[in-house]
Each structure stands twice: as structure tokens, then as C-alpha cells.
Amino acid sequence: MTTAMYVQLAVLALIDSTSIGTLLIPLWLMLRPDARRILPRILLYLGVLAAFYFAVGIAVLGGAEWITHGLGGQALTKLPVVPWAMVLGGGAMLAYSLQPDPAKKAQKKAAMAGGAGEISGNESSKLDSKVEVKWQSRLSKALRSPGGIIGLALIAGLLELPTMLPYLVAIGLISNSTLALPAGVFVLAAYSLVMLLPALLLLALRTTTGRRLDPLLQRASNKLGKFAGETILWIVGIVGFLLLRAGLAELAPMAAWNPFT
């Protein structure tokens, strides 16, 4: 594996670090008045979530290894249809990510209709508030026991399975590299750790500075919750770009028209 590939993996891990499970829920836990007392349970939550990602990664990597190397030396990724599928799929994902956010588009239309945009914005805020209240209730119940925290981490991981696109791209990069399976598993473990670095850094700052950091954490929590939909679009766009580039690299690695050569 090249240095550029390791950089790509690090970028993908940092994208994964901004999800609801890896950052927003830890932020909510840090903002609790008893954050210092429940520090072991916050760490337990992050550890279980990382273990969940790691286990899913091993399962997917094993399947990817079989697809890449398990057909008598003929890799499926070398079949002509696969690069074309990557180009078409990646291009479609990139195009989809560039579409206007439906919520913002609706609010803009309502605003042009004459003041209704404010009502729409209030309704959106109320909806966001209801979602946060629901999650806060779950957090309060989960914090009653270590088993509750483990269950919370597993629920968060399961809910994020459909949005694990950066992780799947990372596994594809590892599978197509020259790394042996044990080394690939080690890289997955490092990926899971990098994915938790922002939450761990904020947790360390919150523990050492006390409540002085709370206004900053609260603003970060509000923005992350508000732009969760936009974050998904960013993820889809980045993954689409990577798939498009990889597909074109297979189909026309030296073509003058290929912008990725």
C-alpha cells in the first residue's frame, strides 16, 4: 500500500467520525451535568461501537477477499463489467450528492410564498427537538447499567449500517491492495481507532476543562444534528468520487481525457 492510500483511509475514517453514533451521541453524553462521573460508560460506549465496526469490517473484508482472490486466481474486480459498474454507480452517486437539499429547497419555496418559510423552519426545529428528546430518553435509560450502554452502542451501530459507505470504500481499498489478510485486519483496527479520535479528543478536553467547554460542545452538537442530512450527501458524493476515479483508473489508466491520470 502506498502513502496516498493510507491518507485516503485516514480521510475516510475521519468522515466516518462525524456520524450520529461516533460523534453526536458522545457529544450528548459529554454535555450531561454528570459527564465526569459517567466517563467510564462513555468510554465503554465508544469501545463497543468501535468493536462493532471492526467486526463488521472483518466480515466484509473476508467476503471481499473471496471475491478478489477466491475464484481460481480470476478476480471479479478484473472483469470488464465491474469497472463500468464503478464508473456508472460512482457518477450517479456524485450527481445525486450535488442536488439541492430537499429540506432547504422546500423552505426556500415556502419563503417565496410569503412568510411561510419561517413556519416551515419552526416546524423543522420542532422535529429536530423531538428527535433529540427521544435520543436523550434512550441515553438516560442506557446509562443505568453497563448492559444498557452496550445495547445503545449496538443500536447506534446497526442504525448506521446503511450509511457505512466510507467504511465500505476503505475495505475495498484494503482488499485491492497487496496486504495479506492479517495485515488488512490490523489496518481495519487502526481505522476504527482513527474514527473515534475526534470524540476521544473532545472527551479529554471536556474532562480536563470541566464545563467551560460546554458552549462550544453545544454549538457543535446543534450544528451536527441540524446538518445530519447534508452530511449524508457529502458522504455519498465523496464515495461516488472515489468509485468513479477507481473505475476510470481500471478502464483508461493512461487516457488523456481521464482527469485522474
Q: What is the pLDDT of residue 50?
A: 93
Mean pLDDT of the region 31-52: 91
**Domain boundary assignment for the chain:** 3-73+120-227
pLDDT at residue 57 greater than cutoff 70: yes
More confident residue, 128 or 197: 197
Compute the mean pLDDT over every residue in the chain, rounded to the nearest whole number.
78
Q: Which of 27-41, 43-57, 149-163, 221-235 has the highest mean pLDDT?
A: 43-57
Instruction: Name the pLDDT band for 53 (thresholds 50, 70, 90).
Output: very high
Instruction: Name the pLDDT band for 47 (thresholds 50, 70, 90).
Output: very high
Q: What is the pLDDT of residue 127?
A: 44
DSSP 82-150: HHHHHHHHHHHHHHHHTSPPHHHHHHHHHHHTTSHHHHHHHHHHHHHHHHHHHHHHHHHHHTTSHHHHH
Q: What is the pLDDT of residue 73?
A: 47
pTM: 0.69
Question: Residue 73: left (phi > 0), alpha (psi -120 to 50), or beta?
Answer: left
pLDDT at residue 179 greater than cutoff 90: no
Which grid cell sits at 225? 444534528
